[in-house]
Amino acid sequence: MLNQFSQKVYQIAKKIPSGKVATYGQLANLAGKPKAARAVGFFMKNNPDIKNIPCYKVVASDGRLCGYSASGGLKKKKQKLVSDGVVFKGNRVDLSHSRWDPAS
Protein backbone atom coordinates (compact mmCIF):
# COMPACT_ATOMS: atom_id res chain seq x y z
CA MET A 1 0.00 0.00 0.00
CA LEU A 2 1.44 3.33 -1.06
CA ASN A 3 1.10 6.35 1.16
CA GLN A 4 0.57 9.89 -0.10
CA PHE A 5 4.24 10.84 0.18
CA SER A 6 5.50 7.81 -1.73
CA GLN A 7 2.91 8.37 -4.45
CA LYS A 8 4.08 11.97 -4.81
CA VAL A 9 7.73 10.87 -5.02
CA TYR A 10 6.90 8.32 -7.73
CA GLN A 11 4.91 10.90 -9.72
CA ILE A 12 7.83 13.35 -9.59
CA ALA A 13 10.35 10.64 -10.54
CA LYS A 14 8.30 9.89 -13.66
CA LYS A 15 9.04 13.44 -14.84
CA ILE A 16 12.85 13.08 -14.87
CA PRO A 17 13.72 13.52 -18.56
CA SER A 18 16.16 11.51 -20.64
CA GLY A 19 19.77 12.44 -20.01
CA LYS A 20 19.04 13.78 -16.53
CA VAL A 21 19.08 12.47 -12.96
CA ALA A 22 17.67 13.62 -9.64
CA THR A 23 19.12 13.05 -6.21
CA TYR A 24 17.27 11.34 -3.39
CA GLY A 25 17.30 14.62 -1.46
CA GLN A 26 16.06 16.57 -4.45
CA LEU A 27 13.04 14.27 -4.83
CA ALA A 28 12.35 14.48 -1.09
CA ASN A 29 12.45 18.27 -1.29
CA LEU A 30 10.23 18.43 -4.38
CA ALA A 31 7.73 16.12 -2.66
CA GLY A 32 7.56 18.45 0.35
CA LYS A 33 9.74 16.60 2.88
CA PRO A 34 13.31 17.88 2.47
CA LYS A 35 14.71 15.68 5.25
CA ALA A 36 13.29 12.45 3.85
CA ALA A 37 16.03 11.44 1.38
CA ARG A 38 16.37 8.00 3.01
CA ALA A 39 12.65 7.41 2.62
CA VAL A 40 13.00 8.24 -1.08
CA GLY A 41 15.78 5.65 -1.29
CA PHE A 42 13.46 3.11 0.29
CA PHE A 43 10.73 3.99 -2.22
CA MET A 44 13.11 3.60 -5.16
CA LYS A 45 14.29 0.23 -3.81
CA ASN A 46 10.67 -0.92 -3.60
CA ASN A 47 9.53 0.61 -6.88
CA PRO A 48 6.12 -0.93 -7.68
CA ASP A 49 6.21 0.04 -11.38
CA ILE A 50 9.74 -0.29 -12.75
CA LYS A 51 8.53 0.16 -16.35
CA ASN A 52 7.10 3.62 -15.69
CA ILE A 53 9.02 4.92 -12.67
CA PRO A 54 12.69 5.40 -13.64
CA CYS A 55 14.30 4.62 -10.27
CA TYR A 56 17.65 4.18 -12.03
CA LYS A 57 17.66 7.97 -12.63
CA VAL A 58 17.97 8.70 -8.89
CA VAL A 59 21.48 9.07 -7.44
CA ALA A 60 23.25 10.20 -4.28
CA SER A 61 23.82 13.91 -3.61
CA ASP A 62 27.45 13.63 -4.76
CA GLY A 63 26.59 11.78 -7.99
CA ARG A 64 27.43 8.31 -6.67
CA LEU A 65 25.37 5.41 -7.87
CA CYS A 66 23.77 3.48 -5.05
CA GLY A 67 20.76 1.41 -4.23
CA TYR A 68 19.87 -0.32 -7.49
CA SER A 69 18.05 -3.52 -6.64
CA ALA A 70 17.10 -4.58 -10.18
CA SER A 71 18.95 -7.32 -12.03
CA GLY A 72 22.52 -6.36 -12.85
CA GLY A 73 22.95 -4.02 -9.89
CA LEU A 74 24.97 -0.83 -10.09
CA LYS A 75 26.74 -1.90 -13.29
CA LYS A 76 23.39 -2.12 -15.03
CA LYS A 77 22.29 1.21 -13.50
CA LYS A 78 25.36 2.92 -14.96
CA GLN A 79 24.79 1.28 -18.36
CA LYS A 80 21.19 2.51 -18.40
CA LEU A 81 22.23 6.04 -17.44
CA VAL A 82 25.00 6.16 -20.06
CA SER A 83 22.64 4.90 -22.77
CA ASP A 84 20.16 7.56 -21.62
CA GLY A 85 22.77 10.29 -22.19
CA VAL A 86 23.81 11.01 -18.60
CA VAL A 87 27.36 12.39 -18.32
CA PHE A 88 29.84 10.78 -15.91
CA LYS A 89 33.12 11.86 -14.33
CA GLY A 90 34.70 8.55 -13.42
CA ASN A 91 32.11 6.50 -11.55
CA ARG A 92 29.96 9.48 -10.54
CA VAL A 93 27.32 11.35 -12.45
CA ASP A 94 28.49 14.82 -13.44
CA LEU A 95 25.71 16.66 -11.65
CA SER A 96 26.80 20.00 -13.10
CA HIS A 97 25.79 18.62 -16.49
CA SER A 98 23.17 15.95 -15.84
CA ARG A 99 21.22 17.07 -12.76
CA TRP A 100 17.55 17.61 -13.57
CA ASP A 101 16.24 21.12 -13.09
CA PRO A 102 12.44 20.82 -12.91
CA ALA A 103 12.14 24.60 -13.36
CA SER A 104 13.60 24.47 -16.87
Q: Would you name the residues annotated as active-site residues? A: 55
Find out whether 99 and 86 touch, Cβ atoms under 8 Å: no
Question: Distance between CA 40 and CA 35 in Å, rounded?
Answer: 10
Collapsed DSSP state (helix, strand, coil) of residue 29: helix
Sign for the CA dihedral angle at 89, 42, 55, 70 comes to positive
